[in-house]
Structure 1
Amino acid sequence: MNRQQRIARLRERLAIARHRLNIAVAALVAEEEIEARQRRQRRWWVKPWIQRRPLYGQYETLMQELRLEHHGDFKAYLRMEPDMFQELCARVGPRIQMSQDGRPPLSSGIKLAITLRFLATGNSYRSLAFDFRVTHNTISLFVPSVCRAIVEEYEDEVFSTPSTPDE
């Protein structure tokens, strides 16, 4: 076999090896895409126990019962009278209400109730999540903004800034 034949044969082997390599890479990429799709698939968009919030959540059940039947227990629960809660909700509600982008947003009332319960008890976000049937990461997002909204709404009435050094 002369030199040109050996070079031609080597090129043929190289082309076959490249073809096999391309097939192997394509198979690995396809396998990885399938695994990635399987990893991303969720069982639920919202967990079923959270979807039952209107039936069993504390805001929808216990708080409404206490508001209608036992004002003293409502005050013990949130550390404020039901009328004050309604006033606070009316004043702060527009600041904390989110626009609707598909799924219905949490009402300003439930956000305020969870925040007040957090401030009253110091319970963890996870504990409040089970009580109110709202995920803990959602609670962690709105509690600071509700606190800011309360301060902004009442700062002119409650927090006075001294205007002179003597004050």
Structure 2
Amino acid sequence: MASLVTDDDALAILGLSLAIKKTKRKDRSMWCKNWLMKRKKLSHINLVKELRIAPKDYRNYVRMNEETYLKLLSMVTPLIQKEDTVMRNAITAHERLLATLRFLASGRSYECLKYSAIISPQALGRIIPETCAAIYKVLQNDYMQFPDTANKWREIAHQFEEIWNFPHCLGAIDGKHVDIIPPADSDSYYYNYKGRHSMVLMAIVDARYRFLLADFGTNGRVSDGGVLQNTKFFQKLQNKKLNIPNPENIEGSSRCLPYVFIGDDAFPLRTDMIKPYRQGDLNTHEKKIFNYRLSRGRNVVENAFGILSSRFRIFRTQINLEPKNIQNVVMATIALHNFLMEHVPNSYAPRQCFYQENTFNGTIVTDGYTTARSNMEILQRRNHGNITNDAKMIRQEFQNYFVNEGKVQWQNNFV
């Protein structure tokens, strides 16, 4: 049967189709807004130059002094510097790092940050996660060293005993829910027990408020009791692959105790992890003493989280990024915390940041920076089921030590 459409008709239809497509396509009036092209004149880079003569304001703006900033810039530049093209000059490493630090410090959105950085939100959406990943990469080896030998663990334990009067402590462990805006197709995947959407940051902190380990990414829907079990740390702990020293006598005592991590009631009581007695079980003076001494050691992790959320106000917001980019942001802040605690501790975390006691009258001078100022929720307290007798005996042995040869003269003032 002969076709009813002639060649001329086909050409006419094709021409009409092309004409329709052409009319639908809207030509861009400009490839970049004029004011965004004036970055050298309008950007906060010029403000930072002025702040150099006001060191306190400089530190407040970038969360570090100029010397420390330049050190960090030199470290990340090889990873974030881009080449100029024949079309336009690349955004410099200095601009990229400064915009990233302001994002972390202020918690402002890309849309808001564009007015000070003079960088489009679309570009910031690429620059900030990339720079955060670079920050973590260059800092993790020197400032996020997880102990891998028995002697390194003993050094951590020695600091806890010297500063917090808690022997054989390998670190204080805790976890926090970090609020997020969930991805559009995630439904209730990140929905937590507080009725918000979150991802969980699990951390171990040493006696000097440094993060020894940070594990981030478990979705908030996972029961808080299961968050620890999801970490590589816990898998290695169970399989005895952390090179933790064997039980040893405490210095100045004949009492032989194991090396342990300390946590709150969100964590299980184990032979390598001890936690306080529950409030309903505090029926003896000795148990109250134990809880006080354990709480005193645990303050380091609470204060570390508090300092983190105080200095990086991104934690006071619901982070509105893709989950993989949220991970880059959170891990960058952890590495920066340790970096700044090492290089500018007095300005980054002054004395009022830390837990302090008046041991004479049994009062707390300051609780330090707590996470009450942030959106980071604590892990839910849980009943972890049956507890082994060995775990109970080890907690009892620590309790006996604290009320006998290991007692401190002021402890009765706090119970």
Runs of 4+ in 1 over 4 A off after TM superposition: none
Q: Give the one of 61, 65, 68 matched to 2:50.
A: 65
Q: Give the one of 106, 110, 121 matched to 2:95.
A: 110
Q: Give the one of 40, 55, 61 matched to 1:77.
A: 61
Identity of aligned residues (%): 25
Gaps of 5+ in 2: 150-241, 246-415
Which residue number corresponds to residue 150 of structure 1?
A: 135
Query: Cα offset for 1:136?
Result: 0.5
Which residue number corresponds to residue 291 of structure 2?
A: none
Query: Cα offset for 1:109?
Result: 0.3
Which residue number corresponds to residue 136 of structure 1?
A: 121
| Number of residue pairs aligned between Structure 1 and Structure 2 | 150
Gaps of 5+ in 1: 1-10
**Pairing of 1:35-54 with structure 2 (within 5 A):** 35=23, 38-39=25-26, 41-54=27-40
Q: Which structure is larger by alpha-carbon Rg, 1 or 2?
A: 1
Query: Cα offset for 1:143?
Result: 0.9
The one-letter amino acid paired with 1:51 is: M
TM-score (norm 1): 0.80
The one-letter amino acid paired with 1:31 is: A
Between the aligned partners of 1:23 and 1:95, the Cα distance in structure 2 is: 54
Which structure has greater helix proportion?
A: 1
The one-letter amino acid paired with 2:19 is: E
Between the aligned partners of 2:47 and 2:115, the Cα distance in structure 1 is: 14
SS state of the match for residue 147, structure 1? helix
The one-letter amino acid paired with 2:15 is: A
Between the aligned partners of 1:144 and 1:137, the Cα distance in structure 2 is: 12
Between the aligned partners of 1:139 and 1:111, the Cα distance in structure 2 is: 8
Between the aligned partners of 1:64 and 1:35, the Cα distance in structure 2 is: 49
TM-score (norm 2): 0.34
Query: Cα offset for 1:29?
Result: 2.6
1:75-116 CA-partner distances (Å, limit 9, x unpaired): 111111111111111111111111233321100001000000
Which structure has greater strand proportion?
A: 2
**Pairing of 1:11-30 with structure 2 (within 5 A):** 18=6, 21-30=9-18
Q: Give the one of 89, 92, 99 matched to 2:73.
A: 89
The one-letter amino acid paired with 2:66 is: P
SS state of the match for residue 6, structure 2? helix
Query: Cα offset for 1:154?
Result: 1.3
Query: Cα offset for 1:54?
Result: 1.0
Between the aligned partners of 1:157 and 1:19, the Cα distance in structure 2 is: 73
1:58-81 CA-partner distances (Å, limit 9, x unpaired): 12x2111112x2111011111111
